[in-house]
Amino acid sequence: MATKNANNELKEFINEKFNNHEELEALRFKRIDELITSFGKEIDSNEETIKRVHTRVDRIETKIKTVQGMSAAVATLLGAVAAWLGINK
């Protein structure tokens, strides 16, 4: 009888350990899913930030090209005025 009782206790112990292991695995997978979801949201957020930065950079580049174009026009105009003054004097 003692061995049968010890056998049952051992079976219960093994079943309890197995159930605990199953619960732990389920928690691990749940945490992995949470991390993947969080990572996906972070990536989406980063993509939006990158788009905004690219838009700003494009606007800045456009402004720089505009200023460069205007300065080239002013330099050309000054050169033309200097040449005209040089010819007329």
Alpha helices in 1-89 (DSSP H): 2-88
Span 13-25, average pLDDT? 92
What pLDDT is attached to residue 28? 93
What pLDDT is attached to residue 60? 92
Q: Domain coordinates of the chain in residue numbers?
A: 1-89
Tokens of 79: 């050169």
Write the pLDDT tens digit of every residue in 21-49: 999 999 999 999 998 888 888 887 788 88
> Rg of the chain over CA atoms, in angstroms?
38
Nearest to 59 by CA among 47, 67, 49: 67
Please identify which residue in the block is written with the tokens 């505009």: 66
Average pLDDT of the chain to the nearest whole number: 87
Note if the pTM is more than 0.75. Answer: no
Write the pLDDT tens digit of every residue in 38-88: 888 888 778 888 888 899 999 999 999 999 999 999 989 888 888 888 887
